[in-house]
Each structure stands twice: as structure tokens, then as C-alpha cells.
Amino acid sequence: MRNILLLSLWLFGTSCKSPAQQIENTEFSLVLKALLSHSVKEVGVRDVEPSDSVLFLDARAINEYNVSHIKNAVFVGYDHFDAASLNGIDKNKKLIVYCSVGYRSEKISEKLEKLGYTNIYNLYGGIFEWKNVGKKVYDNKGQVTEKVHAYDNVWGRWLQNGEKCFDK
């Protein structure tokens, strides 16, 4: 039993709060609870870091990804998602899928489950919450940036830390 607890702490960090409880902005938390169907496993941004044992998949539009993304994230898209972009990725590898807030990534996670991937998590609160808690994002040159594509003015209001960008 102790080994299971230690493995859980190693894989998911030390937070005892659920992903929903980790969102400090109460209004944003309520929006996420209503928006998401919670149909796939979710992980909070405070519980993960980029590492060799985790592969982040970006389920946003290419112009959003080009502004910034989580370090070493693989672009898979949303509107034009193609399972072929995952060729060669072990179906048991830990995959954390993200988008701006978690809706598009939840839908891509559902598709991945249907394709036989077994270790998939939706990043609760997406890249907005990632940046809100002060985690780093990177541009296409691999440099840390404060810019995050805010999708549009309606959704962009949930990005409270970093420089909002709307251009393509």
C-alpha cells in the first residue's frame, strides 16, 4: 500500500485537492464545472510538470500553439485532429491533453480513449490555469514567453497571468 501511495505522489505531485478544487478563481471554477462533461480523467496543473515520463498534447489551433505552449508539447489540434499525428507513441504512455481551458482537450481525450490509449488525462483549466499559477510556457524558438493566445475576449478573461495575445 505504501508503494502505491508513493507512486501516486510521484506521478501526480503532492496536492490533495481535486483538479476542480485547485482553481482559485471561484467564477472560473464554476464555469469549468458546468462546461466540462468530466468524461475523462482530469489532472490539476499543480500536480504535473513536463518530464520524460509525460507527453503533453496541445489540442488548440496552430496559431494558438505557435504563440506559446507547454514545454515539449506535441501539437495535435482540434478541428483538424488526425490520429496519424500520434503514430509511434506508445498507447500506454502517460498523455496529458490540454487546450485553453479544457473543453477541446476533453473531446480529444475522448477520441484518444476510443483509439485505445489507456493513460490519458485532461489538464483541468488548460494552459490558462497553467499560466495563472505561474508555470512557464514556451514559444516556437523554445524560449520562455509571457504570451498566451487568449482565444477570444470572452474566454480570454480567464487568463489572468501573462500577456494575452489574439493575433495569428
pLDDT (tens digit, 9 = 90+) per residue, 139-159? 999 999 999 999 999 999 999
Q: The whole model's pTM is what?
A: 0.88
pLDDT (tens digit, 9 = 90+) per residue, 21-66? 899 899 999 999 999 999 999 999 999 988 889 999 999 999 999 9
- Structural domains in the chain, sorted by start: 17-165 (3.40.250.10)
The residues carrying an active-site annotation are: 99
Let me know: does 77 contact 99? Beta carbons within 8 Å: no
Question: Grid coordinates in use for 167?
Answer: 493575433
pLDDT at 9: 45
- Say if strands 94-98 and 54-58 run parallel, antiparallel, or are unpaired: parallel
Q: Which amino acid is at 36?
A: L
pLDDT band at 70 (very low <50, low <70, confident <90, very high): very high
Average pLDDT, the chain: 90
